[in-house]
A and B are shown apart, each in its own frame.
Chain A
Amino acid sequence: MSEEHKWKKYLKEDYHEVEESPHSKDENWEKIIMEVSQAHQHQKKIPKKSLLAVAMIVVIVIGSAFVQTNQMQAFDWFVKMFVTTDGNTTQINQTTTEEKDVSTGALPDFDNITTEEVQDEESKEMTLEEAQADTDFNISTPTYLPNSYQLESVTIFYDKAPATHVQIEYVNDGNDVVTLHQTYQPDDFADAKVVDNEDTKIKTIALDGGEARLLEFKDDVRQIIWSTPQMNWLLEGTENERNLIKIAESME
């Protein structure tokens, strides 16, 4: 039996070996119901739903006044990043398009817009060479890695055929993890990420002659998000900002 199987087997056995609860199931139920009833009595009145809806719309309209846009052009591709703040949350949008001019204000062709439900993708761990053979794009790796980071795993996600998303993980002696996500986008593409402003600081940083977004989460994790023609990148780890930028700039 492999070590992993042993782990799981023993863990599951341990999980099912519990000391009985001092109270019976029904006694616990009574206490829960009592707690729920008390909470109901103390519940503050919330605004009517219709007022909430209006408030949301107002926030969105006001928030749209604080939109920052950054755009870069490479070859025939435009890469745009929007950052929209509406108080509690910030939305980061990435779009890539092959159009010559994306600022004409013309409405998009709604017939050609498709949406995809985000779901858990099937994935497979493999070597870098196998991953390269299984994808239609060049998988880049950083030439700079600080603090004894070593390649830990390469994972391909099969949400599309051929695969367009690769994740490369590096782990150092302290078990810190740096993860690089590379997503190939040969077609026009738009993506958005919403973050909570209380937990996350967002800033624009210079990266290899272009711009990127640096997100700093309260659990000391940082992400750098950037786009290049036909490729979206996300680098994540607990390394400091300077090191993460150096890693991002060393992609080859």
Chain B
Amino acid sequence: MLKKIFKKSEPTHEEFRLVYDMFYSRVYRDVYFITKDCHLAQDALQETFVKAYKHMNRLEDKERMGAWISTIATRTAIDVLRKRKGAREVLTEDIMIQEKNMEEKGSDTLHIVEANLVREELLESINEISAEYREVILLRYIHELSIREIAHSLNINESTVKTRLHRARKKIKEKVQHDPKRQWIGGE
């Protein structure tokens, strides 16, 4: 068993480049989804691959590399946000979403196709929730990781993952429902 543990070593330059090529787009999309800023996303992307290089020898199941690297990416993106924007703007789990005033849009909104409006407002509300909530939404709904996988990867409890998902979904729904110009999602 020890032999198995110790035989692992850091990846070669070629191996690392292969991983980079395979996951570059995925990682950039992940960190952009969290930061919504191309400069912060770029910083987070670079840090993600540096961390991945250092810890790749710890990855047991290489087939899960995508999920593994995505969790590094989301964690790193949140860290980058914290450093660059200040803790006030990166809300912790227990802090609710930022209450930003929803300004009425111009009358041209009326002419936007229904489906586009729905989509726009949903995405707008997702971008307003805290980075930690976006992280679990990304891992659960885009990368389709199980609750257990998310909890394991982020080193948090399954309850915490579920609570974040519940809260995120509820907040997004509330946000859209309380938007005076659009009440497209019906009741329970």
Which residues of A are in contact with B by a Cβ distance under 8 Å? 3, 6-8, 10-16, 18-23, 25, 28-29, 31-33, 35-36, 39, 49, 53, 120, 169, 171, 175-179, 217, 219, 221, 223, 236-238
Contacts and interface: CB of A to CB of B under 8 A. Distances in A.
Contacts of B49: 32
Interface of B: 2, 6, 13, 16-17, 20, 24, 28-29, 32-33, 38-39, 41-42, 45-46, 49-50, 53-54, 93, 118-119, 122-123, 126, 137-138, 141-142, 146, 148-149, 156-160, 162-163, 166-167, 170, 185
A6 B118 contact: yes
A14 B163 contact: no
A204 to B, nearest CB: 20
A169 B142 contact: no
B159 A236 contact: yes
A25 B24 contact: yes
Given A18-B28, A221-B160, A36 B148 contact: no
B126 A14 contact: yes
Nearest to B155: A199
Chain B at the A interface: SS class: helix
A11 B137 contact: yes
B38 A19 contact: yes
A238 B2 contact: no
A15 B45 contact: no
Nearest to A196: B155
27 contacts: A6-B119, A7-B141, A11-B123, A12-B142, A15-B138, A15-B142, A18-B41, A19-B32, A19-B41, A20-B38, A22-B38, A22-B42, A23-B42, A28-B46, A32-B49, A35-B46, A35-B50, A36-B53, A120-B146, A120-B148, A175-B167, A176-B163, A177-B162, A179-B159, A223-B157, A236-B158, A236-B159
Given A16-B29, A49-B6, A10 B142 contact: no
A32 B21 CA distance: 13
- Interface centre among B13, B119, B137, by most chain A C-beta atoms within 10 angstroms, is B119
B122 to A, nearest CB: 5
A51 B170 CA distance: 52
Given A19-B32, A20-B38, A11 B162 contact: no
B93 A219 contact: yes
A31 B162 CA distance: 37
A177 B32 CA distance: 30
